């Protein structure tokens, strides 16, 4: 670690240029005031800038490294979109500003809603949810509101494949449902017979990612939609993998009733070290009345908010204001730069890159989890042989890959494939970058056979050696303690 | 092909390696009936064209002086804050799951957790959630879990239509926060009951007592409250704890440099402190992204949702940071997780951490006191207009309710037309306050801004111009 900001200060030091003259507070009741100042850093402006600049250099990022993290779509985040969202008119606009002073922003929000409708094949979109998981929550809450409105209150289950993102069952539970898992078959598709057996009058809906978290297209999606709809259930589309089929296939055409889109994946907004994201939800005619508010509406040439009062069946607001507005602006700027052909090419080239990389790795002797299938925009490889033979784990290989200046793919997901990597190169990487990845991973695999200890003890070239997660959880040290 | 680097030669080589004649063949597992035609969106544009078009829209919204707060505040942001946040190493990194490749973000979050715990008077903090309103929702769920665990009361949340777990909203808590929390927790059988506020604009203590008669799982109180006023938080904490309820405090982090931290309220202190971090170096951004923070006592840390960073050691015995207590989270626990949340608003936490480092305790205190004093000046200036008066007389932090003697919606529209963001017409939240504006003045508002607002408001209220306060009352007799 580098020295803490708390250990480089001195009593009385500060960034004087940032301090206004204090105001008079003598009218406030003394018992309401703070007696002892909080322990915050006491550092100069240069110390602050230097400290956090140096810390930044201890991060991997898309701007620095290839980052093939499966299911996360770590593609280039255009600087132009960032610049646009930071324009004074957008960045300085108060979220509760009067309508007359909000027409520019509302026009953008409305346009984004329209773009997302077109891209997903849905009847209406609300961009209110602030992340994918909140979009899931919104979608399942809408499904519940729909059933409740019909007096159909005995449906208690949401079906999720066992390969699904953990957020799926967690979101279902937050909405008061029981999450019922169905298995995924050896070919990566949901086990259709098991699904049929699981669906019934207790089924409120099903949550599916398509292409799935196994990196393959769910080939029987139309049959699945029929089975669930025939039982009175609804279909939720987890948009985590929309990047793979953008411009090629639309969830609305596959039979889904409601969905979310991760703008921080498919629409290239920056991940920011763990957020912010945005998870707009789209719905077909049946579920549109339940969309969360606020939304933008257009009347003639002017724009206004759709507030809860205009949408009596809405599940209501999910944030203090209007969601992650700045992320929505970035996504719109990106979508406009792509346009019709650009959107199709996103899906095409993400798929090309993934299939190329998969084929190269296959030729190098890596074991594919679903060797008979096309890759979508991502694919799964497994190191179960290496684990058995050399006692090496997927995590060991991931850590060794970091030494090659490459961010590790997603490890141990999907959970049903042992010792796996989920690899998603994205469309913005060059063939050379993919080839370099193959070279690096092949080297690591060679090392597994010749010097497994070197791999087990990786990383060796980073600011920290392997960190002890167990100790972190056992001896909880969650705040800096003064010496 | 914006952002796609492939040359024709690349494509040919790659398809050859795959053994596919064309890119389209890579989609041969998608049934033909599910393929879509060209999307109904316009053709692509260059960065220059998009920038020009959206700049034109942004210009329409460029605000004049802002006297509107209501949960989002127009503070000065030091230039260094977003210069650092805009570094690709922070902006384009993912969640720090690979700890060794993420020590920058992890250490920064650990420093952030330390700062937030210090500000709130709590022992631990998480790495943030979406915003203040969702932080309140998560805090309610957390309090219900914590209280259930410690006191063995209430029923499991997953059962439907069992609304048996009660949480009391004491006083004037931001209506958008309450609505958000209600929408998010109701599926788990949790009911929010509000005391409302009395003629003082703060918690109706008599009604509060009544609602405590049957002890709720938790009590929510906001300080300063959503009308800017100081709630009797010591009394609220004392009564809530006497009834066996946990206390969730909602607090503006800037105010905490000046006002008593929730950890010090009464003798026992609040149990969970949450709120929105926007005042700490984050632009208004039309409503987001901001971040929500949640702090608590150490004993409740396993009920805390969201990411948490801990200090640990590497195999060489050197200190380093890692995400910890991940067994609470959805990617491990799935349906049994503390929450479905995975995002923390990392980039905004970066801004807040740099901001708090630059300001320190003394700087934050100066900003808080300056906001208070500037708002007092604003109130003096505006109430010197005939027919404008303070609606509530108790002490306030940096927001105040002014009765303008007529429908405040129209007044706000007219100030906006005159280039001033004049405040929130409170009829939107409370019909009985339809003649009231909630106004705010941060340290950014100058005397000239205040004079300009007074002039505009005078004109709107069709009063003859009177001398501004301070320039002698003799002449106006």
Looking up residue A445, the CATH number of its domain turns out to be: 3.90.1150.10
Looking at residue B63, its pLDDT comes to 87
Which of A338, A362, A390 represents a domain boundary (last residue)?
A: A338
Does residue A63 lie within any of the structural domains?
no
pLDDT in tens, B451-470: 999 999 999 997 544 444 44
Does residue A62 lie within any of the structural domains?
no
Answer for the pair B332, B324: CB distance below 8 angstroms, yes or no: no
Domain co-membership, A114 together with A245: yes
Domain co-membership, A261 together with A348: no
Nearest chain B CA: its distance from A450 CA (Å): 22
Structural domain of A290: 80-338
Question: B150 or B229, which is more confident?
Answer: B229
- Put simply, the answer to whether A62 touches B41 (Cβ < 8 Å) is no
- Put simply, the answer to whether B358 touches A18 (Cβ < 8 Å) is yes
Q: Which residues in B lie closer than 8 A to residue A270 (C-beta atoms)?
A: 91-92, 347
Nearest chain B CA: its distance from A188 CA (Å): 12
Domain co-membership, A355 together with A317: no
Instruction: Tell the burial category of B329 from Cβ atoms under 10 Å away from its Cβ (0-12, 13-18, 19+).
Output: buried
C-alpha to C-alpha distance for B212 and B246, rounded to whole angstroms: 12
Domain co-membership, A281 together with A411: no
- Put simply, the answer to whether B29 touches A216 (Cβ < 8 Å) is yes
- Put simply, the answer to whether A130 touches B316 (Cβ < 8 Å) is no
Looking at residue A478, its pLDDT comes to 97
Domain co-membership, A165 together with A302: yes
Which of A286, A306, A338 represents a domain boundary (last residue)?
A: A338
pLDDT under 50: residue ranges of chain A: none
Q: Which of B17, B118, B309 sits opposite A40 (nearest CB)?
A: B118
Does residue A434 lie within any of the structural domains?
yes
- Put simply, the answer to whether B94 touches A72 (Cβ < 8 Å) is yes
| Mean per-residue pLDDT of chain B | 93
Looking at residue B463, its pLDDT comes to 56
Answer for the pair B137, B339: CB distance below 8 angstroms, yes or no: no
Domain co-membership, A205 together with A322: yes
Q: Which residues in B lie closer than 8 A to residue A335 (C-beta atoms)?
A: 41
Would you tell me the crossing angle of helices B103-120 and B346-383 to the nearest 10 degrees? Answer: 40
C-alpha to C-alpha distance for A426 and A76, rounded to whole angstroms: 9
Task: Please determine, for residue B160, whether its predicted confidence score (pLDDT) is greater than 50.
Answer: no
C-alpha to C-alpha distance for A91 and B54, rounded to whole angstroms: 13
Scan residues 279-298 of B and list those with Cβ closer than 8 Å to A. 283-291, 298
Domain co-membership, A284 together with A184: yes
Nearest chain B CA: its distance from A200 CA (Å): 18
SS3 at position B312? strand
- Put simply, the answer to whether B286 touches A325 (Cβ < 8 Å) is yes
Domain co-membership, A239 together with A355: no
Does residue A476 lie within any of the structural domains?
no
The CATH number of whichever domain residue A232 belongs to comes to 3.40.640.10
C-alpha to C-alpha distance for B357 and A38, rounded to whole angstroms: 12
Task: Please determine, for residue B163, whether its predicted confidence score (pLDDT) is greater than 90.
Answer: no
Nearest chain A CA: its distance from B42 CA (Å): 6
Does residue A24 lie within any of the structural domains?
no
Answer for the pair B248, B220: CB distance below 8 angstroms, yes or no: yes
Q: Which of B4, B39, B125 sits opposite A119 (nearest CB)?
A: B39
Does residue A417 lie within any of the structural domains?
yes
Nearest chain B CA: its distance from A263 CA (Å): 13
Domain co-membership, A354 together with A226: no
Domains of chain B plus CATH, in order, are 79-353 (3.40.640.10), 368-469 (3.90.1150.10)
Structure tokens at B398: 């940096």
Burial letters B167-189, b for 16+ CB under 10 A, else e: bbbbbbbbbbbbbbbbbbbbbbb
Domain co-membership, A333 together with A371: no
Band (B148; pLDDT cuts 50, 70, 90): low
Which of A338, A372, A405 represents a domain boundary (last residue)?
A: A338
Average pLDDT rounded to a whole number, residues B58-77: 96
Domain co-membership, A358 together with A334: no
Query: CA geometry: angle at B442 spanning B437 and B445, to 5°?
Result: 90
Domain co-membership, A276 together with A333: yes
- Put simply, the answer to whether B26 touches A119 (Cβ < 8 Å) is no
Q: Number of folded domains in chain A?
A: 2
Q: Which of B263, B279, B277 is nearest to B399 (CA)?
A: B279
Looking at residue B162, its pLDDT comes to 52
C-alpha to C-alpha distance for A360 and B186, rounded to whole angstroms: 50
Q: What is the DSSP letter of A293?
A: B
What are the backbone angles phi and psi of residue B432, rounded to the nearest 5°? Answer: -70, -10
Taking the Cβ of residue B193 and every Cβ of chain A, the question of whether any pair is shorter than 8 Å is answered with no
- Put simply, the answer to whether B257 touches A38 (Cβ < 8 Å) is yes
Looking at residue B331, its pLDDT comes to 83
Q: Which residues in B lie closer than 8 A to residue A177 (C-beta atoms)?
A: 158, 187
ipTM of the complex: 0.97
- Put simply, the answer to whether A57 touches B6 (Cβ < 8 Å) is no
C-alpha to C-alpha distance for A223 and A127, rounded to whole angstroms: 30
Scan residues 391-410 of B and list those with Cβ closer than 8 Å to A. 395
Does residue A75 lie within any of the structural domains?
no
């Amino acid at each position: 670690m580098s020295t803490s900001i708390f250990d480089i200060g001195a009593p009385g030091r500060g960034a004087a240029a940032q301090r206004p003259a204090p105001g008079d507070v003598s009218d406030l009741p003394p018992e309401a005031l703070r007696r002892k100042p909080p322990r915050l850093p006491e550092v100069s402006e240069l110390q602050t800038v230097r400290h956090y600049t140096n810390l930044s250099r201890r991060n991997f990022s898309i701007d620095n490294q290839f980052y093939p993290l499966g299911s996360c779509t770590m593609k280039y985040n255009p600087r132009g979109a960032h610049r646009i969202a930071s324009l004074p008119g957008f960045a300085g606009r108060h979220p509760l500003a009067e309508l007359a002073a909000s027409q520019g922003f509302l026009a953008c929000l409305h346009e984004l809603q329209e773009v997302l409708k077109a891209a997903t094949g849905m009847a209406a979109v609300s961009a209110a949810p602030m992340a994918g998981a909140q979009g899931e929550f919104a979608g399942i809450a809408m499904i519940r509101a729909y059933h409740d409105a019909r007096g159909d209150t005995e449906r208690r289950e949401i079906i999720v494949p066992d390969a699904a993102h953990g957020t799926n069952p967690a979101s279902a539970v937050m909405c008061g449902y029981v999450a019922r898992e169905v298995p995924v078959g050896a070919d990566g598709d949901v086990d259709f017979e098991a699904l049929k057996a699981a669906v019934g009058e207790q089924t409120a809906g099903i949550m599916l990612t398509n292409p799935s978290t196994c990196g393959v297209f769910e080939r029987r999606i139309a049959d699945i939609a029929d089975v669930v709809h025939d039982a009175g259930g609804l279909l939720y589309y987890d948009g985590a993998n929309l990047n793979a089929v953008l411009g090629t296939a639309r969830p609305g055409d596959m039979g889904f009733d409601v969905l979310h889109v991760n703008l921080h994946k498919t629409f290239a907004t920056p991940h920011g070290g763990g957020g912010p994201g945005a998870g707009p939800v789209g719905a077909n005619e049946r579920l549109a009345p339940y969309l969360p508010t606020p939304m933008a509406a257009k009347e003639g040439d002017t724009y206004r908010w759709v507030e809860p009062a205009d949408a009596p069946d809405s599940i209501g607001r999910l944030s203090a204001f209007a969601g992650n507005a700045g992320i929505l602006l970035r996504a719109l700027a990106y979508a406009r730069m792509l346009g019709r052909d650009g959107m199709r090419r996103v899906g095409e080239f993400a798929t090309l890159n993934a299939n190329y990389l998969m084929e190269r790795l296959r030729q190098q002797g890596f074991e594919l989890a679903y060797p008979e299938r096309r890759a979508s925009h991502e694919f799964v490889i497994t190191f179960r042989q290496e684990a058995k033979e050399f006692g090496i784990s997927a995590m060991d290989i991931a850590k060794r890959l970091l030494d090659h200046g490459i961010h590790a793919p997603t490890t141990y997901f999907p959970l049903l494939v042992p010792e796996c990597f989920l690899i998603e190169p994205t469309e913005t990487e060059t063939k050379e970058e993919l080839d370099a990845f193959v070279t690096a991973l092949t080297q690591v695999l060679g090392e597994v056979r010749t010097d497994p200890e070197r791999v087990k003890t990786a990383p060796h070239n980073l600011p920290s050696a392997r960190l002890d997660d167990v100790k972190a959880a056992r001896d909880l040290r969650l705040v800096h303690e003064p010496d | 092909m914006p952002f796609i680097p492939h040359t024709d030669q690349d494509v040919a080589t790659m398809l050859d390696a795959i053994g596919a004649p064309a890119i389209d063949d890579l989609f041969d597992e998608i049934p033909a009936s599910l393929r879509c035609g060209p999307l109904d969106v316009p053709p692509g544009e260059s960065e220059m064209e998009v920038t020009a078009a959206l700049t034109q829209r942004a210009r329409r919204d460029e605000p004049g002086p802002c006297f509107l707060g209501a949960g989002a505040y127009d503070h000065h942001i030091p230039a260094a804050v977003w210069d650092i946040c805009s570094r690709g190493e922070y902006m384009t990194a993912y969640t720090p799951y690979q700890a060794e490749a993420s020590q920058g973000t992890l250490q920064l979050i650990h420093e952030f957790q330390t700062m937030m715990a210090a500000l709130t008077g709590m022992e631990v903090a998480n790495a943030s959630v979406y915003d203040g309103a969702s932080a309140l929702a998560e805090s309610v769920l957390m309090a219900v879990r914590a209280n259930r665990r410690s006191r063995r009361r209430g029923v499991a949340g997953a059962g439907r239509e069992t609304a048996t777990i009660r949480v009391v909203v004491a006083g004037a808590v931001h209506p958008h926060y309450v609505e958000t929390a209600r929408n998010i927790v109701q599926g788990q059988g949790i009911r929010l009951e509000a005391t409302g506020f009395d003629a003082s604009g703060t918690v109706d203590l008599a009604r509060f007592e009544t609602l405590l008669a049957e002890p709720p799982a938790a009590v929510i109180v906001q300080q300063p409250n959503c009308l800017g006023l100081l709630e009797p938080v010591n009394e609220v904490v004392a009564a809530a704890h006497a009834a066996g309820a946990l206390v969730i405090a909602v607090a503006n982090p800037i105010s905490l440099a000046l006002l008593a931290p929730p950890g010090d309220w009464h003798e026992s202190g609040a149990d969970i402190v949450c709120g929105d971090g926007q005042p700490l170096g984050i632009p208004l951004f039309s409503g987001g992204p901001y971040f929500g923070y949640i702090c608590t006592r150490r004993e409740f840390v396993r009920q805390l949702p969201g990411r948490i960073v801990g200090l640990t050691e590497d195999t060489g015995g050197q200190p380093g940071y890692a995400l910890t207590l991940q067994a609470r989270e959805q990617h491990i626990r799935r349906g049994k997780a503390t929450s479905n949340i995975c995002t923390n608003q990392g980039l905004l936490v970066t801004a807040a951490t740099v901001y708090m480092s630059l300001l320190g305790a003394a700087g934050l205190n100066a900003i808080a006191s300056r906001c208070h004093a500037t708002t007092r000046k604003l109130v003096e200036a505006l109430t010197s207009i005939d027919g404008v008066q303070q609606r509530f007389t108790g002490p306030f932090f940096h927001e105040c309710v002014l009765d303008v003697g007529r429908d405040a919606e129209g007044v706000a529209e007219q100030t906006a037309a005159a280039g001033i963001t004049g405040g929130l017409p409170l009829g939107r939240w409370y019909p009985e306050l339809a003649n009231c504006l909630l106004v705010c003045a941060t340290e950014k508002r100058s005397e000239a801004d205040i004079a300009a607002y007074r002039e505009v408001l005078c004109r709107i209220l069709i009063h003859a111009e009177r001398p501004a306060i301070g320039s002698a009352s003799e002449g106006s007799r």
